[in-house]
Amino acid sequence: MNIYYAPMEGITTYLYRQLHNKYFGGVDTYFTPFISVFPDHYIKKRDEREIDPANNEGMRVVPQVLANSSKELIWIFKKLTSMGYDEVNLNLGCPSGTVTAKGRGSGFLKEPDKLGTFFDEVFDSLGDDARKLSVKTRIGYLDASEMEHLSKIYARYPIKELTIHPRIRKQFYKGVPDMEVFEKALMMSSCPVCYNGNVFTLDDYNKINDRYGYQEGSDLHDVSGGLKEGSGLHDIGGMTKDTLDIHDINGDLSKDITLHYHMNTAGSADNKISSVMLGRGIVADPSLARQIKGGSHMDKAEFKEFRRALEAMYKENLKDGNNVFNKMKEMWFYMSQSFEGSEGYIKNILKSKSYAEYLAAANTLEGNCDIKSGPNASPVSF
Ligand SMILES: Cc1cc2nc3c(=O)[nH]c(=O)nc-3n(C[C@H](O)[C@H](O)[C@H](O)COP(=O)(O)O)c2cc1C
């Protein structure tokens, strides 16, 4: 199973990704927070830094973009692939009012016919290269029944991978994912599928994997094709395998990442997911992806080091000092959920009005609460 760190605006920025990868790892692919493409073919300076290959060394990063015109998407897609990115992800899930009002993110789901025309133009124009386009979608704008029609549209195109977050727009990130609709969408898919939503613990992951994952190793018995020369891609029965060389900042090979894609067939009850994408679960417990890969749960010493590295990184990079402790408050909102009995202490962190107040409150929580452990160490209040 491929394990992805979800795009999270304001959280999984490149500085955070670098630290997470250094201290915990376990993630096969990091997604950038969404990058808005402006009509005159322009992206913000901040987003240029997100996609600068020098800032993404040593890990596989997929840039995520927000666009609703084929011209915008084609422009950013070409820019990113010419920089060496082997995948570009289209955001069809963002629920924010300012985004949906412009018909972007989940707002694009309101207009399925326009979405179909958009994909026709994109796939026609990009030809084979369009196979590098992946999509992250919700299951509808107003109602989950929209997913049936949307699934038929997605099934018309060779999308690299379809990430399904089974909520509708108005839920934002609340309520339980609609697994019935997810299952139907998985069955209707003709491309590899990634599941996303409420995977907060190792147990949560195991349940999703047991129910929807292909069985690791099953490909060993069914090899139907060899390495396609130069592409790093293998065809293996109903699977493709993509082995990528990841380089560190010196340009040296630092690791290989092998991604497995289960090739689905529209209408087949045998369809499987290839990947699981986790967001809030990893922010809360940065060792979660590592645990999924068979590694250890974080301990207090490791957390302390990571937290101090985060503080130092924000101090160095955020010009306004207030932003540093506001950013750390946001991180603690999630991270505190990995600590036993942190409910009272987190309030003091969130109430703090200066960096000194923040630091005292964070040290108190860290000093007084143990890290939850075990496969069910569940964040409680998302
Ligand atoms: C603070 C925050 C920022 C997010 N930013 C993005 C984003 O930039 N792009 C995107 O596709 N999804 C974004 N999401 C949604 C997540 O990628 C993910 O779909 C959602 O959190 C559900 O997964 P989870 O239950 O594992 O957290 C964001 C979610 C949160 C809470």
- Digit-coded pLDDT (tens) for 251-274: 777 788 899 999 999 999 999 999
Q: Which residues pair with 339 in a beta bridge?
A: 371
What's the pLDDT at 320? Answer: 77
Confidence of residue 378 (pLDDT cuts 50, 70, 90): low
- Digit-coded pLDDT (tens) for 3-20: 999 999 999 999 999 999
Q: From ligand 1's centre to the CA of 173, what distance in Å?
A: 8
pLDDT at 215 over 90: no
Overall average pLDDT of the 351-371 stretch = 96
Mutate to test the pocket of ligand 1, among 8, 51, 104, 331 (most ligand atoms within 8 A of CB): 8
Strands 133-140 and 88-92: parallel
pLDDT at 226 over 70: no
DSSP class per residue in 2-16: EEEEPP-TTTS-HHH
Interface confidence (ipTM) of the complex: 0.99
**Token duo for residue 78:** 């070409």
Class of domain 2-292 (CATH, top level): alpha beta
| Region of 29 on the Ramachandran plot (φ > 0 left; ψ -120 to 50 alpha; else beta) | beta
| Angle value at C-alpha 93, between 92 and 94, nearest 5 degrees | 110
Overall average pLDDT of the 79-106 stretch = 97
**Token duo for residue 336:** 């505190």
What residues contact residue 89 under an 8 Å CB cut-off, 6+ apart? 7, 31, 62, 63, 64, 65, 133, 134, 135, 136, 163
What's the pLDDT at 380? Answer: 60
Mutate to test the pocket of ligand 1, among 173, 337, 378, 380 (most ligand atoms within 8 A of CB): 173
SS3 state of residue 244: strand
Ligand 1 binding residues, C-beta < 6 A: 6-9, 11, 33-34, 64, 91, 93-94, 136, 165, 173, 196-199, 278-281
* Residue ranges covered by each domain of the chain: 2-292, 300-368
Q: From ligand 1's centre to the CA of 83, what distance in Å?
A: 25
Overall average pLDDT of the 167-196 stretch = 97
Overall average pLDDT of the 90-95 stretch = 98
